[in-house]
Amino acid sequence: MSRTSRRDFLKSVAGTAGAVAAGGTLDAAPRKSAADWVTLGNSGVQVTRLAFGTGTFGGKVQRDLGQENFTRLVRHAYDRGIRFFETADAYTGMHQMLGEALKGLPRDSYRLMTKFRWRQADDPGGAIDRFRRELNSEYFDILLIHCVRTSGWSEDLKRLRDHFSEAKHKKIILAHGASCHGILPLREFPGNQWLDVALLRVNHNGTRMDNLQGEDKGEGNVPEALAHIQSVHAQGTGVIGMKIMGEGAFRTPELREESIRFVTKLGAVQSMTIGFKSPAEIDEAIERLNRRLNT
């Protein structure tokens, strides 16, 4: 062995030994976390794997906390590394409550998503400006058309989609998309290249998932919904999962564990939003997701 190669070999051995002595392992893969930043499809928008949702039963669960307790909850999530917050104009009062809770935090340290009620599309520009005032933000990372329920929704809402595209061009929003409630509208998500982001219902047993009736209750068509979710992901649209806990229906640890396990194994859901009402729920979700990500 030459002197140079021997010296390099000894350095390599010494470095490996030092890493092992410090508690490392050979070829150890980096651990994944609920607080990791991930890119939503081809949108260029990065969010944390876990989002803080504010719409449990239309936001009632979060509103009932009151501003002081809600602010403490948001700050707890933020301190635990959850930097993706989602809300909607339809969640009465939640724009204002979330804007107050986030006040003073650096805007570039978190991501913000809200949703637009398509039935009130007479003045999209004015509504978006109101959203910005209510949430104390000059821009939104993601703006969605809220709760599309019918086939033909994309063509029917073309004018609204054009307004969103214009707002994206002006950098008032960075990405646009839609949230879905029903199998009929979901069938039109694959192939829709306007969708930067899709907010889709998914869990292991279909609780409050999409069905032909477009109802928010009952059991959804899991096989068909999953096929569409996979197609939406494959086309480069960012997929955010909702109803992960069946909107609070999964009351046992076993059901919550099964849902997290199921969604993380799909490989098509890049981020998931869960509505919280206590620090303990946030901690449990983070720990459960971290464990499943590394199983």
Nearest C-alpha neighbor of 101 from the set 137, 130, 129: 137
The verdict on residue 46 lying in a domain is yes
112 forms beta bridges with 85
d(CA 100, CA 166) in angstroms, rounded, equals 28
Cβ proximity of 72 and 266 under 8 Å: no
Residue 181 lies in a domain: yes
- Those residues whose C-beta lies under 8 Å from the C-beta of residue 172, and which sit 6 or more positions away, are 128, 132, 138, 139, 140
Q: How far is CA 277 from the centre of its chain?
A: 17
Residue 261 sits in a domain of what CATH number? 3.20.20.100
Answer whether 206's CB lies under 8 Å from 244's CB.
no
The letter for the amino acid at 186 is L
pLDDT tens for 171-203 read 999 999 999 999 999 999 999 999 999 999 999
Q: Please give the Cα distance from 285 to 295 (Å, whole number).
A: 15
Q: Report yes or no on 23 lying in a domain.
A: no
Distance CA 197, CA 173 (A): 12
Q: Which tokens sit at 45?
A: 């928008």
Write out pLDDT tens, residues 149-169.
999 999 999 999 999 999 999
15 is a domain residue: no
Is 3 part of any domain?
Answer: no
User: Quick check: is 37 in a domain?
Assistant: yes
**Contacts for 44 with CB less than 8 Å, ≥ 6 apart:** 174, 175
Q: How far apart are CA 4 and CA 265, in angstroms?
A: 47
- Helices and strands (H, E) in the chain, number of each type: 11, 10
Residues 37/47, Cβ–Cβ less than 8 Å: yes
Which residues constitute the domain of residue 55? 33-293
Phi, psi of 273 (to 5 degrees): -110, 135
DSSP 157: T
- Tell me how many domains the chain contains: 1
In a domain, 20, yes or no: no
pLDDT one digit per residue (tens) for the chain, 295 residues? 444 444 443 344 344 444 434 444 444 566 999 999 999 999 999 999 999 999 999 999 999 999 999 999 999 999 999 999 999 999 999 999 999 999 999 999 999 999 999 887 789 999 999 999 999 999 999 999 999 999 999 999 999 999 999 999 999 999 999 999 999 999 999 999 999 999 999 999 999 998 887 666 668 889 999 999 999 999 999 999 999 999 889 999 999 999 999 999 999 999 999 999 999 999 999 999 999 999 8
Separation of CA 38 from chain center:
10
Reported pTM: 0.88
Q: What is the radius of gyration, based on Cα positions, of the chain? A: 21
Give a yes or no: residue 233 inside a domain. Answer: yes
Q: Residue 125: in which H helix or E strand, if any?
A: helix 124-134
